[in-house]
Amino acid sequence: MFNLLRRKHSVIQKCAACTFVVTCTIYLCYTFYFALYPKLPNPGKPPVLYSNQCNVDLRLLAVSAMEQAKESIHLVMFGLKERSILQKLIKKSSEDLVDCHIYYDPSASPRFRKINSHFFPHPVPSRGLMHQKILVIDEAMVFLGSANMTKSSLEMHDNLVIGMVSPKIARFLTSRTPYKSGHIKTLVGSQWVELYLLPDPRGYAIQAIKDRIREAKKSLQVAMFTFTHPALVDAIIDAQTRGVKVTVAIDKNAWLGSSHAAIKRLEHAGIDVMVNTGSSLLHHKFLWVDGRHLILGSANWTKSAFYKNQDSFLILHNMSDEQKNLMRSLWRRLIRSDKAKSTRP
């Protein structure tokens, strides 16, 4: 009887082990599939967040989106050097006769020439940087965020991108970027989205960020490549003073350079500051408020971004569970001990 029970227990253990192996295999296959084939946003659905830190291939995401184009591609990009993306633009314009309007900063991208009747390169003169990172497909599908279209930015450096299907936002972007500023607020799949195009000398854009900081009740999680704007430093410190849990992740190069004075002020106020330790850049530009609202885009928190550069940022209100899950995963990876260290001794 004892041997029978022992054999039964052994069988149960083997079955449990097999179930665990199968579950892990399915999970790995699922993760690998969506890393190789990131899903594109759908009409009537909330925006989708993407990060290469969460195993999303941002290069493939851009190429896949461009492949869907039937009529037009509107690309506004600070750094545009990735070969596969350039090849896709050439193919879509020459073989599929898709009108490709490409706006770029000549200080960060090579000069492009008009190679066919549907390929329209536009070097953008600017008193600051033409720093926007925007892709619009067929005046409907929109992507924007912190990632340049270079190999290092898409594959190595830390970046966050948002995608959505919104003809209203798409038309706003194609009619205004990169030459005009502006603001739009609209529903995307029953979720409110606000978009600001910079520069904004009247200060409405930076006030919108300060308002979100002031409304925070529990937590502020900031990840920023460059953080120097004194008004935003003050707003973050005020939040910490009234009891909001504030954590700031900053790129180590900015911490050692232009952002050093601002970070010292934050540290003096008792704010936790984390600095990345790897070889990749922490290239994010986001603020996560109370785990519910997200601000992201191409704008660093500098005076130049708000008053001089052509930049952009988006406010995502009342995030969905899927959006929150990605941000939780991203934040864990961002501040884990082997990737970041506290600036406190």
CATH number at residue 333: 3.30.870.10
Considering the domain boundaries, does residue 18 fall inside one? no
Residues of the chain with pLDDT > 70: what percent? 87
Together in a domain, 253 and 167: no
3-state secondary structure the chain: CHHHHHHHHHHHHHHHHHHHHHHHHHHHHHHHHHHHCCCCCCCCCCCEEEEHHHCCCHHHHHHHHHHCCCCEEEEEECCECCHHHHHHHHHHHHCCCCEEEEEECCCCCCCCCCCCCCEEEEECCCCCCECCEEEEECCCEEEEECCCECHHHHHCCECEEEEEECHHHHHHHHHHCCCCCEEEEEEECCEEEEEEECCCCCCHHHHHHHHHHHHCCCEEEEEECCECCHHHHHHHHHHHHCCCEEEEEECHHHHHCCCHHHHHHHHHCCCEEEEECCCCCECCEEEEECCCEEEEECCCECHHHHHCCECEEEEECCCCHHHHHHHHHHHHHHHCCCCEEECCC
Confidence tier at 91 by pLDDT (50, 70, 90): very high
CA 201/CA 304 separation, integer angstroms: 11
Together in a domain, 173 and 189: no
Asked which of 158, 179, 200 is the last residue of a domain, the reply is 179
Domain limits for position 167: 48-179
Each residue of 51-73: pLDDT tens digit? 999 999 999 999 999 999 999 99
Confidence tier at 26 by pLDDT (50, 70, 90): very low
Say whether pLDDT at 34 is over 50: no
Say whether pLDDT at 232 is over 50: yes
* Furthest CA-CA distance within the chain: 87
In terms of pLDDT, which residue wins out, 37 or 4? 37
Q: What is the pLDDT of residue 126?
A: 85
Together in a domain, 61 and 171: yes
Q: Give the mean model confidence (pLDDT) for residues 207-222.
A: 98
Each residue of 96-150: pLDDT tens digit? 999 999 999 999 999 999 999 999 999 998 889 999 999 999 999 999 999 999 9
Q: What is the pLDDT of residue 345?
A: 59
Together in a domain, 293 and 226: yes
Together in a domain, 237 and 148: no
Confidence tier at 32 by pLDDT (50, 70, 90): very low
Asked which of 179, 207, 240 is the last residue of a domain, the reply is 179
Together in a domain, 327 and 217: yes
Together in a domain, 152 and 198: no
Confidence tier at 30 by pLDDT (50, 70, 90): very low
Q: Which of 38-47, 271-280, 314-323 has the least mean pLDDT? A: 271-280
Q: Count how many domains the chain has.
A: 2
Say whether pLDDT at 28 is over 60: no
Considering the domain boundaries, does residue 102 fall inside one? yes
Together in a domain, 276 and 212: yes
Whole-model pTM: value is 0.89
Q: What is the pLDDT of residue 173?
A: 98
Together in a domain, 146 and 212: no
Together in a domain, 219 and 332: yes
Together in a domain, 146 and 226: no
Q: What is the pLDDT of residue 23?
A: 47
Q: Work out the mean pLDDT of the chain and round it to a whole number.
A: 91
In terms of pLDDT, which residue wins out, 340 or 130? 130
Residue 333 tokens, joined: 């990876």
Residues of the chain with pLDDT > 90: what percent? 84
Considering the domain boundaries, does residue 29 fall inside one? no
Confidence tier at 335 by pLDDT (50, 70, 90): confident
Considering the domain boundaries, does residue 20 fall inside one? no
Considering the domain boundaries, does residue 77 fall inside one? yes
Considering the domain boundaries, does residue 151 fall inside one? yes
Is the N-terminal amide bond of 121 cis, ω within 30° of 0? no
Together in a domain, 194 and 155: no
Asked which of 163, 179, 195 is the last residue of a domain, the reply is 179
Q: What is the pLDDT of residue 33?
A: 45
Considering the domain boundaries, does residue 33 fall inside one? no
3-state secondary structure 154-191: HHCCECEEEEEECHHHHHHHHHHCCCCCEEEEEEECCE
Each residue of 138-197: pLDDT tens digit? 999 999 999 999 999 999 999 999 999 999 999 999 999 999 999 999 999 999 999 999
Considering the domain boundaries, does residue 344 fall inside one? no
Q: What is the pLDDT of residue 15?
A: 55
